[in-house]
Copies of this chain bind each other. A is one copy, B any other.
Amino acid sequence: METKEKPLTSVMEDYLEAIYDLDKEQKAVRVRDIARKMDVRMPSVTSMLRSLKERELVYYEKYEYVELTERGEDIGREMRRRHGIIREFLTEILKIDYKTADEDACRIEHTLSPQTVNSLTDFMNFIQKCPLGEERMKYFEEYQKRIRKEAEEDM
Contacts and interface: CB of A to CB of B under 8 A. Distances in A.
Interface stretch (A12-20, A30-38, A60-68, A135-143): A135-143
A55 B122 CA distance: 43
Interface in A121-152: 122-123, 125-126, 130, 132, 136, 139-140, 143-144, 147-148, 151
A147 B118 contact: yes
Contacts of A151: 118
Contacts of A103: 113
Give this chain's copy count. Answer: 2
Given A108-B108, A136-B130, A139-B130, A100 B122 contact: no
A7 to B, nearest CB: 14
A104 B94 contact: no
Contacts of A47: none
A140 B126 contact: yes
A105 to B, nearest CB: 10
Interface of A: 90, 93-97, 100-101, 103-104, 107-108, 111-113, 115-116, 118-120, 122-123, 125-126, 130, 132, 136, 139-140, 143-144, 147-148, 151
25 contacts: A90-B119, A93-B123, A95-B119, A96-B115, A96-B116, A96-B119, A100-B115, A100-B116, A103-B113, A104-B111, A104-B113, A104-B116, A107-B108, A107-B111, A108-B111, A108-B112, A111-B111, A118-B148, A118-B151, A119-B144, A122-B143, A122-B144, A122-B147, A130-B136, A130-B140
